[in-house]
Chains A and B, each alone.
Chain A
Amino acid sequence: MTHLELSHISKQFGQTAVVQDFNLDVKTGEFVSFLGPSGCGKTTTLRMIAGFETPTTGKVMLGDADITDMAPNQRDVGMVFQAYALFPNMTVAQNIGFGMKIHKEPESAIKERVIEMLALIHLEQKGNSYPAQLSGGQQQRVALARALANRPKVLLLDEPLSALDAKIRVSLRAEIRAIQRKLGITAIYVTHDQEEALSISDRIVVMFDGRIEQVGTPFEIYNFPQTAFVASFVGTLNTTDAEVIDPVKKLIKIDGVQLETAEELQGRKKGDKIKIAIRPERLNFVSVEKKANVLDCTVENITFLGSVVRIQVKIGSNRFNMDTFNNPFLELPKIGAKEQVSCSREAVIILNS
Chain B
Amino acid sequence: MKRGSVVWSWFWMILGIIYFFLPLVATFIFSLKAKLGVLSFLAYQQLFNDPDFIKGFSYSVMWGILTIIVGILIFFPTAYWVRMRLPQVRTAVEFVTMLPFVVPAIVFVFGLVRTFSHPPFLIVDSPALLVLAYVVLTMPYMYRSIDTGLRSIDVRTLTEAAQSLGAGWGTILFRVILPNIRVSIISGGFLGFAIVMGEYILAQYLAKPAFAPFLAYLIQQKAYEPAAATIVSIALTWACMGIIQLVGRGGSQPQIAGGH
A residues contacting B by CB (< 8 A) are 50-52, 71-75, 77-79, 81, 83, 85-89, 98-99, 102-103, 130, 132-138, 143, 146-147, 150, 156, 164-165, 167-168, 171
Contacts and interface: CB of A to CB of B under 8 A. Distances in A.
Interface size class of B (residues with CB under 8 A): 20 to 34
A328 to B, nearest CB: 32
Contacts of A72: 160, 163-164
A168 B259 CA distance: 6
Contact of B256 (A133, A143, A147): A133
Contacts, number: 92
Q: Is the interface of A mostly helix, strand, loop or mixed?
A: mixed
Contacts of A86: 161
B154 A137 contact: no
Contact of A102 (B153, B165, B253): B165
Contacts of B157: 81, 83, 85
Given A133-B254, A167-B259, A81 B166 contact: no
Nearest to A171: B260
B165 A98 contact: yes
B165 A50 contact: no
B161 A85 contact: yes
Given A136-B260, A143-B161, 16 more contacts: A72-B164, A73-B166, A73-B167, A85-B154, A87-B158, A88-B153, A88-B180, A98-B162, A99-B165, A102-B167, A132-B253, A133-B253, A133-B254, A134-B256, A147-B164, A167-B259
B88 interface: no
B168 interface: yes
B258 interface: yes
7 contacts: A79-B161, A83-B157, A85-B157, A99-B165, A102-B166, A135-B258, A150-B166
Contacts of B258: 135-136, 165
B176 interface: yes
Contacts of B176: 87, 89
Contacts of A137: 259-260
A71 B168 CA distance: 10
A74 B166 CA distance: 6
B259 A89 contact: no
B171 interface: yes
A102 B179 CA distance: 17
B49 interface: no
B255 interface: yes
Nearest to A172: B260
Contacts of A168: 259-260
B171 A89 contact: no
A69 to B, nearest CB: 15
B166 A50 contact: no
Contacts of A51: 163
B79 to A, nearest CB: 18
A79 B164 contact: yes
A51 B160 CA distance: 10
A167 B259 CA distance: 8
Given A72-B160, A88-B180, A89-B179, A146 B253 contact: no
A89 B253 CA distance: 10
A191 to B, nearest CB: 18
B160 A132 contact: no
Contacts of B168: 73
Contact of B259 (A71, A73, A79, A135): A135
A135 B253 CA distance: 13
A77 B154 contact: no
A98 to B, nearest CB: 6
Contacts of B257: 135-136
A217 to B, nearest CB: 28
A185 to B, nearest CB: 14
Given A79-B161, A87-B158, A89-B180, A103 B259 contact: no
A98 B176 CA distance: 10
A137 B160 CA distance: 21
The listed residue with most A CB atoms (<10 A of its CB), out of B161, B165, B168, B176, is B165
